[in-house]
Amino acid sequence: MKRAIILTQQCMMRASLLFTLIASCGQSVFAQSAQDAINQLQFRAQQQQSPVITNSALESRSLSPQSLPAVQQQSVGQYTQAPRNGLLLPGELNARDLLPVIDSSAPAPYGATLFAGGYESERTSQINDNYMIAPGDKLSVWLWGGINFSDVLTVDNQGNVFIPNIGPIAVQDTPASGISALITSKIRQTYNDSVNIYVNLLNATPVNVFVAGPVIRPGQYAGMANDSLLYYLKRAGGIDFDRGSFRNIKVMRDGQAILNVDLYEFMQSGSMPDIVFKDEDVVLVTPLGPTVTVIDGARNSFRFELIENATTGEQLSTYAIPLPNMSHVGVIGNRKDGPFSVYMPIDRFSQFALQNGDKINYTDDWDADVYDIKISGSHLGPSYYTVTKSTRLHDLLDHIEVDPALADIDNIYLLRKSVADQQKELITQSLDRLERSVYTAPIQSTGEGAIRAEEAQLVSAFVQRAKQVEPLGRVVISDNGAVANILLEQNDEIVIPLKTDLVQIGGEVLMPQAVVYNPNADLEDYVAWAGGFSERADHQRIIIIKANGLVTFVEHSAGYWLDSDESHNIVPGDQILVLPRIDDKALQAIKDITQIIYQIAVAANVVLD
């Protein structure tokens, strides 16, 4: 209610002010406009969502004018000193929205990052020695000794500064580095060495430079004469990626090109030609030239502009920088006789003539003749071997030196990346099926729906954890001392276990630990030595992972261990994993979850609960 009263009073005060102005001017023709203004004020008062903040309100809320936004503090007639940073003023349009999109899926052009920073607001405070004196510049001149004189002189429109008893001195188009010597020489023509002279250029006059061609916001921009070309291009929003050239930018003066700039050279070597801008200079971005696109296989997968219609692959590779392992190049494009496609070794590509619109894909297509094999565990000598791709395991084992007292050569196993990838894929597929079965199960009642919602949350959390497990890719290659002579693959890892007297007990036991092997102990004894089963343990099935990687299950039913099979006997180096029990009353997906837990335990030696 108070806010409505304040807003109504404000509207009445504004309306009263408008009527007073109309009466004092005696112009009845504005009556309709005043009524429209009143109606608009009333409408704004009805739409107002926040209370009016007055000075008394500021005091009551312990606010100060400094705590208000900078825009509210700005007084009438002042210009903000902060850059707009792309903020559009009322009535302005976003220039990028006016430009038609040619191909939104095309990669950015090489050099596009030049216009991503805010360096247009960074400017050196020093004047370039090559800066040319222009009208409006200010010079500080001091004379002492025989005469005394000091003043700040402004270069007039004729390019002169006037010194009493000396007269006008033409200084326009004089380099900043030579202005002191010029004025000193002119003064020496009148005064001898008894007069000391000091001349200093205080500040340079801003220049107006036009930026034209395919840029985002072509127009006139103010800057300093020694500002870089990139400064003016960035002020204009940068080069239009789809239409403007990065390789042929001209600086025009009096209708003549005085400088050509290739931004690729700046990107490669940091080379940027020096230029001192003058009033009404024009930075002209020429239309985009022929282009080729690097799709993949290079450090710089961009769209590249060609200087000539035909550029060799070697010239392109200088900018694209193919990855070290690239062996071949595929080129797709169009020629006079129609679509064109070729696949060639990278050496031949260096002399290949590229044309406008070509797409290049660097590929790794080496047919490796050798494999890198890693050796880990208990062994002597190097940890990596290079073998031919037809090498079998026994051929390499003959060259690996071990200490028979330490190395368990009867339980060698293999870690293979391709097997790990397959295990990961199988686990992922099982997890996906589990999620689908939970999310798509029919619901018969409201109570069942609540149970299913809780079940879905639990299953989702389990799936997220399970997807983070990385399988080992273990391959069982030994059994009872016999080692299979299999073909080796790239990046295989041969593991020679260290002989041990310990047995590892983990999973759902109270104190997971390693205990010394006891030939008289059975599985139940080892579980007891680890503190016994936890409350979440599954007493029905336990996993035993042998030293060679072989996995067996031991079932427990009606209080008896079914371990009559000799493969269930515990030996040094074994790992005992007790799996968690899942409440089948709470989860209907119990079978799927149990199966996945088994898969993860076998593939990664990890027990999820």
242-275 pLDDT tens trace:
899 999 999 999 999 999 999 999 998 888 888 8
Identify the CATH class of 138-203.
alpha beta
> How many whole angstroms separate alpha carbon 124 and alpha carbon 131?
13
Does residue 107 register a pLDDT over 90?
Answer: no
Q: Is 133 exposed, middle or buried (0-12, 13-18, 19+ CB in 10 A)?
A: buried
If you average pLDDT over every residue of the chain, what do you get?
Answer: 78
The pLDDT value given to residue 39: 52
Mean pLDDT of 178-191: 89
> How many whole angstroms separate alpha carbon 373 and alpha carbon 491?
5
Does residue 238 register a pLDDT over 70?
Answer: yes
The pLDDT value given to residue 130: 75
Mean pLDDT of 475-495: 89
Does residue 191 register a pLDDT over 60?
Answer: yes
Mean pLDDT is lowest, of 215-229, 279-293, 423-437, 448-462, for: 448-462
* Residue 402 and residue 379 in contact, taking contact as beta carbons nearer than 8 Å: yes
In the structure encoding, which two tokens stand for residue 502, read together?
Answer: 């310990």
> How many whole angstroms separate alpha carbon 218 and alpha carbon 237?
8
The pLDDT value given to residue 235: 87
* Residue 380 and residue 403 in contact, taking contact as beta carbons nearer than 8 Å: yes
The pLDDT value given to residue 86: 57
Mean pLDDT is lowest, of 54-68, 167-181, 383-397, for: 54-68
The pLDDT value given to residue 553: 79
Mean pLDDT of 140-153: 89
> Which of 29-38, 507-516, 558-567 is the most confident on average?
507-516
Alpha carbon of residue 397 to chain centroid: 46
The pLDDT value given to residue 1: 44
Helices assigned H by DSSP within 26-94? 31-47, 55-60, 70-73
> How many whole angstroms separate alpha carbon 191 and alpha carbon 166?
9
Instruction: Quote the pTM value.
Output: 0.50
Whose structure tokens read 């009404």? 280
Mean pLDDT is lowest, of 120-134, 428-442, 497-511, for: 120-134
In the structure encoding, which two tokens stand for residue 465, read together?
Answer: 């954890």
Does residue 485 register a pLDDT over 60?
Answer: yes
At 282, the pLDDT band (50, 70, 90 cuts) reads very high
Mean pLDDT of 456-478: 83
Mean pLDDT of 577-584: 75
> What's the half-sphere exposure (Cβ side, CA atoms, 13 Å) at 9?
8
Mean pLDDT of 128-147: 84
Does residue 399 register a pLDDT over 80?
Answer: yes
Does residue 381 register a pLDDT over 50?
Answer: yes
Does residue 372 register a pLDDT over 90?
Answer: no
Does residue 189 register a pLDDT over 60?
Answer: yes
* Residue 284 and residue 275 in contact, taking contact as beta carbons nearer than 8 Å: no
Does residue 587 register a pLDDT over 70?
Answer: no
At 77, the pLDDT band (50, 70, 90 cuts) reads very low
> How many whole angstroms separate alpha carbon 111 and alpha carbon 106?
15
Does residue 444 register a pLDDT over 90?
Answer: no
Kindly list the domain boundaries of the chain, sorted by start residue: 2-61, 138-203, 207-287, 291-363
Per DSSP, 165 falls in state T
| DSSP sequence for 418-464 | HHHHHHHHHHHHHHHHHHHHHHT----SHHHHHHHHHHHHHHHHHHH
In the structure encoding, which two tokens stand for residue 263, read together?
Answer: 């931004």
Higher pLDDT, 79 or 233: 233
> How many whole angstroms separate alpha carbon 440 and alpha carbon 436?
6
> What fold is seen in the domain 207-287?
Outer membrane lipoprotein wza fold like (3.10.560)
The pLDDT value given to residue 436: 80
- Reduced to 3 states (helix: H, G, I; strand: E, B; else coil), residue 407 is strand
Q: pLDDT tens across 4-24, in order?
A: 444 444 544 444 444 444 344
> How many whole angstroms separate alpha carbon 529 and alpha carbon 512?
9
Does residue 35 register a pLDDT over 60?
Answer: no
Q: pLDDT tens across 208-224, in order?
A: 999 999 998 899 998 88
At 291, the pLDDT band (50, 70, 90 cuts) reads very high
Mean pLDDT is lowest, of 171-175, 253-257, 499-503, 558-562, for: 558-562
* Residue 478 and residue 393 in contact, taking contact as beta carbons nearer than 8 Å: no
Mean pLDDT of 318-326: 91
Share of the chain above pLDDT 90, in %: 29
Mean pLDDT is lowest, of 48-57, 321-330, 402-411, 438-447, for: 48-57
The pLDDT value given to residue 568: 64
Mean pLDDT of 460-471: 82
The pLDDT value given to residue 344: 92
> How many whole angstroms separate alpha carbon 158 and alpha carbon 442?
91
